[in-house]
Chains A and B, each alone.
Chain A
Amino acid sequence: MADNQPRVIVVGGGLAGLAASVRIAEAGVPVDLFSMVPVKRSHSVCAQGGINACNEVARQQGYSEWLHMDETLYGGDFLNHQPPVYEMTHWAPKVIDLMDRMGVPFNRTSEGQRDLRLFGGSLFKRTHFAGATTGQQLLYALDEQTRRYEADGKVTKHEFWEFLWPVLDDSNGKKRCVGIVAQDMRSMQIRAFRADAVVMATGGCGMVFGKSTMSVICTGGAASRCYQAGAWLGNPEFIQVHPTAIPGEDKCRLMSESARGEGGRVWVPRKKNDDRPPNDIPTAERWYFLEEKYPKYGNLVPRDIATREIFFVCQQGHGIGGGRMVYLDVTHLPDATKHKLDGILEIYEKFTGDNPRNVPMKIFPAVHYSMGGLYTVYTAKEDSKGMVQGAPNNMMTNLEGLYAFGEVNYQYHGATRLGANALLNCIFDGLFCGLSVVNYVRDQKPGARAAELPAQPFNTVVQQEQAKMKRLLEADGQYNPYQIHAKLGDELTDSCTVIREENRMKRAYEALGELNAQYKNLGLSDAGMWTNQTLSFARALGDMLIYAEAILAGSIARKESRGSHYRPDYPERDDKKFHKTTVAKFDAVTGRATLEYEPVPTPLIAPRARTYGKVEAEADDNKKDKKEEAATS
């Protein structure tokens, strides 16, 4: 029967979800694609700067896929698994070629080749870009290809449907994901969808921090629901704070790293509380602190480092007018270069009223990306150089048949993600691991297919979700979900972003307990059964609280500093104790994370000190490096 043929569900229509849909549909397996928004409006559109890949120009200057891998591991403070990073960086040129064939309007050189720009964490130009809206262009290209399969009937889109819970079948004694339960966000209908594999491509969890650079749907709700259903989280505490964003009332708007990649400079007045307009401050009285401290990488140190430096400079009172802002200056760039940045300069102009072409931008760090996410596994090649292509378990979570692609996948970036590696990671996951999904569902024996299972496991989850909805709709407590969310955001942003002080985090952890209590005493201002956005938000809030607990617990427990995780009480990296993946398992009884640690193998590159040539640290590092070299040789 045709109905028994394997099907795949993809949750999330960003780069990873669309790349997976296209790849899986292309292999002949029908795809049901779920998204809370029309997929073309997914958060991937917000990515600006570009996508990294080794290219011929860089190669002839000494760059290679291997170096790209090395940079990614160095940037990630060696917390990333090496075979997947190897595979991703070696696939990167193919990914660019493919996106190029799809018609992405990459910027061009006079000869018509793809243009390149410099980006953080690298000394080579290896970032391909389309103006300053690369994510938008890449997403649209995949959206178009998905539409092509949609027109052919191979992809069925379920837009304005919210993923509520994975359906797990344990009739064979082993938990296996066989579908999802989702809700139509308009009619509020809750129903189950069967599938032989489910790919979660649901992005990050920025909303947990209240205001971030992320879109409003990036609550981490979907990941949290999988986590509560038994999937593990990997490294939930690793959250990237982007150095340059425009602080706003409703969100912090990203000012791409490409501004610095194209030559933009970060500075503050040397004199504290200098209240002169920026253009009146002569160069000699400007402190280009990143260039001064990191002569090698300058403004293009990895994000966590730039963020901390900006934060410290402001703490020392050097921020603009003594406040929490620094200048990001592109005014000196030639017009042709500014033209390449139009996409972001327009955003700045629209939202602040100042023209950044003439006046330096005022920026401050903001939560941007979650390196952590659903824990996944893979099959490494024997020599650890890459993953086995098509291995059914590549990027599968600990729950069989449940995959995690893109930002929700904890792989690839370790303790900090390098700029322009996210787009790569998303598309790579979809393309490379999409094949794994195809192989996995094809391996399912007839008779064990999702379509052939009894209704019971599906009905159980539908009932569970209906009961949850009923509880929320009928709640008549005194707390408003939006207000709880604001407090959650404040607590997490204050305790668990740039500087993570143990006492502050513990206070936040306690506050979380209070917020959980308030959540149990919720009152919804909308009890309707048509397009009830409050219900959706309130439900996600519960999931955010649970995810936030894992972030805080992981941050408190990791007593070291590594990448984006900076603990003033433990300022050094501690490889002995913490060169390990945090694995968070949800304890349904306590509602809390149980943390376990899993060593990170380093088959290809041995960890080394991560200094990026900082001047004051240089002397020590040289010694350390030499020691390490001696030890490894």
Chain B
Amino acid sequence: MATNTDQKTIRFKVKRQDAPQTAPYWQDFDVPHPPGANVISCLLHIAANPVTADGRTVAPVAWDCNCLEEVCGACTMVINGRVRQSCSALISELAEEAAAVTLEPMTKFPVVRDLMVDRSRMFKNLIDIKAWVPIDGTHALGPGPTESPANQDTRYALSRCMTCGCCLEACPQFLLDNHFIGAAAISQARYFNAHETGKTLQDDRLEALETPGGVSDCGNAQNCVQVCPKDIPLTESIAAIGRQTTVHAIKSFFSGK
């Protein structure tokens, strides 16, 4: 129950963990929240006053954040049971959902400490799908290929992926201990395959996505697109890569090495 003794105070229930190998535990904090407060400003308040609801002084809660305007992707956590960016989680809205704000680290990545997790798997996945345009170096070699506004619009929507991990946290097929590559990287493969020069590596990307843990491990639950904070059409990307892999597989069956 929220404490109503203090005006504009909300109860935070935080799932904490001191180190990767230690057991998690819960702590409650009562945090005053002026209008416009969000989860980050409340966590900052806890950092400055790390006292639990029952009056114990504890170590401040550790969490990841950087830009605080939902473009860096750092501050993902599970808030009131749902994965999202904590910077754009306004207390005024959360207070309508429940009496308390529950903060948990993402469950699909190893916990580093408290609300911080290790998402290096996501960045490694980007290497696996060769998420880059293979340019001939940085010297002045003229402009890039021209592009239709429609193609740019499609690519732009995909290019806003900030590797935050929401899509993977909500995905029932992406687990802490399996190999599924997940929506983010699949969508990036589509992004690069849609670029004139990026296409050169399309076969490599598709072959990577045809291995175990690749695109076919998607179970079409489509949670990814629901939780993506940037509204990236992830399920369209999965379908597009589905088509590309289908065509690629048939082509290589008939004309591959």
Contact = CB atoms under 8 A, between A and B. Distances in A.
Chain A–chain B contact at Cβ < 8 A: yes
A482 B47 contact: yes
A3 interface: no
B155 A105 contact: yes
B141 A101 contact: yes
B203 to A, nearest CB: 17
B41 interface: yes
B145 to A, nearest CB: 8
A100 B143 contact: yes
A131 B67 contact: no
A41 interface: yes
B247 to A, nearest CB: 22
Contact of A530 (B18, B67, B71): B18
B88 A351 contact: yes
Nearest to B158: A105
Nearest to A22: B138
A140 B188 CA distance: 11
A107 interface: yes
Contact of A215 (B19, B68, B88, B120): B68
B135 A41 contact: no
A528 B140 contact: no
B55 interface: no
Nearest to A352: B36
B248 to A, nearest CB: 21
Interface string A86-108: 00000000101110111101111
A112 interface: yes
B71 A133 contact: yes
B162 interface: yes
Interface string B132-165: 1111011011111011110010011001101100
A371 to B, nearest CB: 21
Nearest to A157: B123
A483 B48 contact: yes
Contact of B133 (A144, A353, A482, A483): A144
Interface size range of chain A in the complex: 35 or more
B73 A130 contact: no
Interface string A336-369: 0000000100010011110000000000000000
B66 A248 contact: no
Interface in B46-72: 47-50, 57-60, 62, 64-72
A574 interface: no
B62 A531 contact: yes
A526 B18 CA distance: 11
Contacts of B88: 350-351
Contacts of B62: 531, 533
B156 A249 contact: no
Given A101-B133, A528-B18, A45 B162 contact: yes
Given A137-B159, A144-B132, A112 B148 contact: yes
Contact of B147 (A98, A108, A533): A108
A145 B143 contact: no
B131 A26 contact: no
A429 B154 CA distance: 31
Given A101-B143, A186-B112, A251 B69 contact: yes
Contacts of B47: 482, 533-534, 537
A148 B198 CA distance: 13
B67 A108 contact: no
A261 interface: no
Interface in B21-50: 34, 36-38, 40-41, 44, 47-50
Contact of B41 (A109, A215, A250): A250
Contacts of B131: 144, 147
B27 to A, nearest CB: 13
Contacts of A109: 149
Interface in A180-228: 186, 215-217
Nearest to A47: B71
A480 B48 contact: yes
Contacts of B50: 525-526
Given A45-B162, A100-B143, A151-B127, A249 B73 contact: no
Interface size range of chain B in the complex: 35 or more
A216 B68 CA distance: 8
Contacts of A107: 149, 152, 156
A335 B132 CA distance: 32
Contacts of B126: 144, 147
B132 A130 contact: no
A334 to B, nearest CB: 15
A116 to B, nearest CB: 14
A480 B51 CA distance: 13
A113 interface: yes
Contact of B36 (A101, A186, A248): A248
Nearest to B44: A250
B143 A40 contact: no
Given A37-B74, A147-B132, A534-B47, A112 B38 contact: no
Contact of A525 (B19, B57, B133, B148): B57
Contacts of B120: 38
A550 interface: no
A525 B62 CA distance: 12
A61 to B, nearest CB: 19
B138 A23 contact: yes
Contact of B60 (A254, A352, A525): A525
B197 interface: yes
25 contacts: A38-B120, A40-B73, A40-B162, A97-B142, A98-B135, A101-B142, A107-B149, A109-B149, A112-B146, A114-B143, A137-B156, A144-B131, A147-B126, A186-B113, A215-B72, A249-B37, A249-B38, A250-B87, A251-B69, A353-B90, A431-B138, A480-B48, A530-B113, A531-B116, A533-B62
Q: Which 4 A-B pairs have the closest CB atoms?
A: A112-B146, A100-B144, A482-B48, A144-B132
Interface of A: 19, 22-23, 26, 37-38, 40-43, 45-46, 94, 96-98, 100-103, 105-114, 130-131, 133, 136-137, 140-141, 144-145, 147-148, 150-151, 186, 215-217, 248-251, 253-254, 343, 347, 350-353, 431, 480, 482-483, 486, 525-526, 528, 530-531, 533-534, 537
